[in-house]
Amino acid sequence: MSLVTFDAARRRWLLSTPRTSYVVGLKDDDTPVCLHWGPRLSADQAAALPEPAAFMGSSFDESGTGEELLTEAGARFGAASLQIRFPGGDTGIEWRYTGHTIDAGHLTLRLRDRVHPAEVTLHYRLRPDTDVIERWTEIAAEAPVTLLRCDSAAWNPPPLPGYRLSHATGGWAAENTLRRAEPPVGETVLTSRRGITSHQANPWLMIDAGEATEEHGEVWSAALAWSGSWRITVARTPGGRLSWTGGFGHEGLTWQGAAWTTPVFAGLYSTGGYGAASRTWHHYVNEHVRPAARETRPVLYNSWEAVGFEVGEESQKRLAALAARAGAEVFVMDDAWFGGRTSDRAGLGDWWPNPERFPGGLTPLIEEVHRLGMRFGLWAEPEMVNPDSDLYRAHPDWVIHQPGRERTELRHQLFLDFSRPEVADWAHKWLHRLVSEHAIDFLKWDCNRTFTQADPGEMWAGHVRAVYSILDRLRADHPHLRVEACSGGGGRTDLGMMARTDQVWTSDNADAADRLSIQHGFTQIYPAGAMAAWVTDSPNPLTGRRTSLAYRFHVAMAGVLGLGGDLLNWSEQELDEAAALVGMYKDIRDVVQHGELRRLRGAVQYTLGDRVVVLAYKGPAAFGAPGVPLRLSGLDPDARYRDEDTGAVHHGVLLTARGLIPPFPHDDYASALIRLRKEQL
Ligand code: DGJ
């Protein structure tokens, strides 16, 4: 069955994914519109879809709804997806269809403006194994024009009796707070104006009619593959329609040029509630976005929370020995190994080993890490410079700034402008040299501030593209290199970054109880195999909360387990317990990282082949109330499941219909790990 078919008589294209269909058609005036986004349709059924509703006759009707990219031409009053300022000042586009191509699952619709020489190509890419449809837009003008807005796509679910919007908000150390609320009639703007994806909002959304649950109901969702400023505008009309348009940049930015390609804004329709929507995203991200998702991510140790800026060869070696003892497979040296970096006030930009801290360079530490049987990883923040650095003294003009204006320092640092080729080249050269000259297997790419004093032009996108290009070149030249995306925790969690990194540092908040909410929000779209999570000290340095080692481990085991505590202060008993828990993680990690994730009440369940892993959590005890059984999900009702730890055998149907009481210890913030294996009949 073709992924894309064309009905020439009706001028409509039927896009078919395994379980869904999307139908795009042209109105009489050539405006491309969405005729259907929902259950799978046959060609006959798609042909029977009604033409988009015409104006009712009043001058004040709603217009523009259902369009694939909203313009400003004529009687359209919504938030425009596309605004091109042509010579003479007009910004509307009047569509003229000029042709299409279908190349397997890739449909391109070519359109022009009726007046000015500008081509707009709408791209749709489908793949046989996913319901996710990738969409993006390309602009080509004969002469440079000014782009005021150039979204990747507008998405139009069908009219629903009501609407609920799910999205993520947050802040530093509080990323990915899931919000679910009825969107107001009006426009709701989800955005980052910071030059990075941001901690405050994440570029995805889900829409349902207000009735979906984790397991049931229709959900429409979209996620943007971009790591700089972005904007998604959700418009709910008084007449009962809802649509959204989204892409890179934010209001006030303009781009000059003759050719533009937007990032991908991918979307999906799902009928199995939020959970099924998330699993469809996870599968798509693992199969089509992440570069090495089929690999199993190793357990790493990172020294940041243990030593902060007090980095030295001897202390790193001592930590490395303990990390190896606990079962870590990668040892990552974080900030403060370079230049004059002994605090956050100096050194960024001077990327050579600090001669006092590493008199023999990095090699003695790397060799020791390898001798201990681990791979070596290193932190870097390539886009940044401290004013107190040799780099800044030599190139004060390399930073993002506006002549004559103050240069706002955040964390005592300034942002290097990678949209300038000489600056990006410099960064690529030193990174390439560093990785070439040392046995570095893992790079943590950090970014600890946002843009300020940035010109409202091309650099906003150019900088992000240069970051992408450096990462792409590093990966191509060093195929063994694995990369962690980080931006003061999870400030660069998005599909664009995931396309060129292996995992994301989810948050600087490693408090296990807080992490449950951060991880809950993260997994709405992004897979557990990309979600880096560390076990650190108790009481937690950020929140002061005391939790058991097992609880901290069980929370971090829900993603890619790492260790980040000050192991020098851990007792022998704690180190032994940690080693046993790391061993347990190694047993379950394929199921966690590659299995299907189900969010249960107070637990997460992963299923891969015949194995089921459940990580269950209990908050502070309240009134000594007896626990409620935990109902599992998605099991084979006719199968039996053996508990690998107790030997107990459960019927699948009873595990889902009645549930089981997790074996929580009698404690606040208690947790349990349950490993089940489906019995062969
Ligand atoms: C922010 C990161 O999120 C931390 O893990 C750590 O790498 C610091 N930066 C270092 O400055």
The 10s digit of each residue's pLDDT in 528-576 is 999 999 999 999 999 999 999 999 999 999 999 999 999 999 999 999 9
pTM: 0.98
Token code pair at residue 17: 């994914």
DSSP code string of 305-337: HHHTT---HHHHHHHHHHHHHHT-SEEEE-S-S
Higher per-residue pLDDT: 331 or 73: 331
Residue 51's pLDDT is 84
Question: Residue 585 is which amino acid?
Answer: Y
Please write the tens of the pLDDT for every residue from 357-386: 999 999 999 999 999 999 999 999 999 999
pLDDT(413) > 90: yes
Least confident stretch, 25-29, 56-60, 134-138: 56-60
Ligand 1 centroid to Cα of residue 447, in Å, is: 8
pLDDT(62) > 80: no
3-state SS, 120-144, equals EEEEEECCCCCCCEEEEEEEEEEEE
Question: Ligand 1 in contact with 451 (CB < 6 A)?
Answer: no
**How does strand 442-445 pair with strand 640-643?**
unpaired
pLDDT(622) > 80: no
Burial of 59 (0-12, 13-18, 19+ CB in 10 A): exposed
Overall average pLDDT of the 622-626 stretch: 78
Q: Is 485 helix (H, G, I), strand (E, B) or coil?
A: strand
Ligand 1 centroid to Cα of residue 341, in Å, is: 13
| Whether the Cβ atoms of residue 443 and residue 398 lie closer than 8 Å to each other | no
Overall average pLDDT of the 621-650 stretch: 93
Question: Ligand 1 in contact with 379 (CB < 6 A)?
Answer: yes
CB-CB neighbours of 244 under 10 Å? 29
Task: For a ligand 1 pocket test, name from 302, 384, 386, 448 the mutation site with the most ligand atoms within 8 angstroms of its C-beta.
Answer: 448
Higher per-residue pLDDT: 62 or 602: 602
- 446 given a catalytic annotation: yes
Least confident stretch, 73-82, 314-323, 593-602: 73-82
Ligand 1 centroid to Cα of residue 588, in Å, is: 28
Question: Ligand 1 in contact with 484 (CB < 6 A)?
Answer: no
> From atom 2 of ligand 1, which residue's Cα is the shortest distance away?
488
Ligand 1 centroid to Cα of residue 445, in Å, is: 10
Token code pair at residue 510: 């490693």
Task: For a ligand 1 pocket test, name from 307, 345, 486, 487 the mutation site with the most ligand atoms within 8 angstroms of its C-beta.
Answer: 486
Please write the tens of the pLDDT for every residue from 313-338: 999 999 999 999 999 999 999 999 99
CA–CA distance, 481 with 476 (Å, rounded to integer): 9
Question: Ligand 1 in contact with 304 (CB < 6 A)?
Answer: yes
pLDDT(207) > 60: yes
Question: Ligand 1 in contact with 22 (CB < 6 A)?
Answer: no
DSSP 168: E
Residue 61's pLDDT is 67
Token code pair at residue 353: 């080993």
Please write the tens of the pLDDT for every residue from 660-675: 999 999 889 999 999 9
Residue 169's pLDDT is 98
CA–CA distance, 574 with 96 (Å, rounded to integer): 69
> From atom 10 of ligand 1, which residue's Cα is the shortest distance away?
335
665: preceding bond cis by omega (within 30 degrees): no
> From atom 9 of ligand 1, which residue's Cα is the shortest distance away?
488
**Closest ligand 1 atom to Cα of 505:** 3
Question: Ligand 1 in contact with 534 (CB < 6 A)?
Answer: no
Ligand 1 centroid to Cα of residue 184, in Å, is: 37
Ligand 1 centroid to Cα of residue 505, in Å, is: 9
Question: Ligand 1 in contact with 381 (CB < 6 A)?
Answer: no
pLDDT confidence bin for 56, thresholds 50/70/90: low
Question: Ligand 1 in contact with 337 (CB < 6 A)?
Answer: no
Q: To which residue do tokens 């296990």 refer?
A: 512
**Residue 378, φ and ψ in degrees, nearest 5:** -140, 145
As a dihedral over the C-alpha atoms of residue 254, residue 260, residue 263, residue 265, rounded to 10 degrees, the angle is 90
**Closest ligand 1 atom to Cα of 302:** 5
Ligand 1 centroid to Cα of residue 488, in Å, is: 6
Q: To which residue do tokens 């879809």 refer?
A: 49
Q: To which residue do tokens 């829900």 refer?
A: 558
Residue 53's pLDDT is 67
In terms of phi and psi (left: phi > 0; alpha: psi -120 to 50; beta: otherwise), the region of 623 is left
| Whether the Cβ atoms of residue 221 and residue 203 lie closer than 8 Å to each other | no
Residue 626's pLDDT is 77
pLDDT(271) > 80: yes
- Chain mean pLDDT for the chain: 96
Overall average pLDDT of the 577-594 stretch: 98
How far apart, in Å, are the Cα atoms of 630 and each of 221, 604, 651?
Answer: 28, 10, 14
Name which of 172, 196, 229, 167 is nearest 489 in CA terms. 172
pLDDT(65) > 90: no
pLDDT confidence bin for 54, thresholds 50/70/90: low
Q: Which of 508, 511, 514, 537 is catalytic?
A: 508
> From atom 11 of ligand 1, which residue's Cα is the shortest distance away?
335
**Closest ligand 1 atom to Cα of 487:** 3
**Closest ligand 1 atom to Cα of 304:** 6
Name which of 330, 326, 337 is nearest 302 in CA terms. 330
Ligand 1 centroid to Cα of residue 345, in Å, is: 14
Overall average pLDDT of the 3-9 stretch: 98
Name which of 575, 603, 596 is nearest 326 in CA terms. 575
Residue 623's pLDDT is 81
DSSP 398: G
Question: Ligand 1 in contact with 446 (CB < 6 A)?
Answer: yes
- E strand or H helix at 432: helix 421-437
**Closest ligand 1 atom to Cα of 444:** 7
- Gyration radius of the chain's alpha carbons: 26
Ligand 1 centroid to Cα of residue 261, in Å, is: 32
Least confident stretch, 75-84, 291-300, 429-438: 75-84
Q: Which of 131, 334, 335, 446 is catalytic?
A: 446
pLDDT(620) > 70: yes
Residue 470's pLDDT is 98
- 44 given a catalytic annotation: no
Task: For a ligand 1 pocket test, name from 335, 412, 515 the mutation site with the most ligand atoms within 8 angstroms of its C-beta.
Answer: 335
Please write the tens of the pLDDT for every residue from 109-123: 999 999 999 999 999
Paired residues of 613 in beta bridges: 606, 675
| Whether the Cβ atoms of residue 231 and residue 252 lie closer than 8 Å to each other | no
Name which of 323, 176, 291 is nearest 334 in CA terms. 323
3-state SS, 522-567, equals HCCCCCHHHEEEEECCCCCCCCCCCCCHHHHHHHHCCCEEEECCCH
Residue 667's pLDDT is 87
What share of the chain in percent tops pLDDT 90?
92
Residues whose CB falls within 8 Å of the CB of residue 2, separated by 6 or more in sequence, listed in order: 16, 102
What share of the chain in percent tops pLDDT 70?
98
Name which of 35, 38, 39, 29 is nearest 13 in CA terms. 35
Overall average pLDDT of the 177-190 stretch: 98
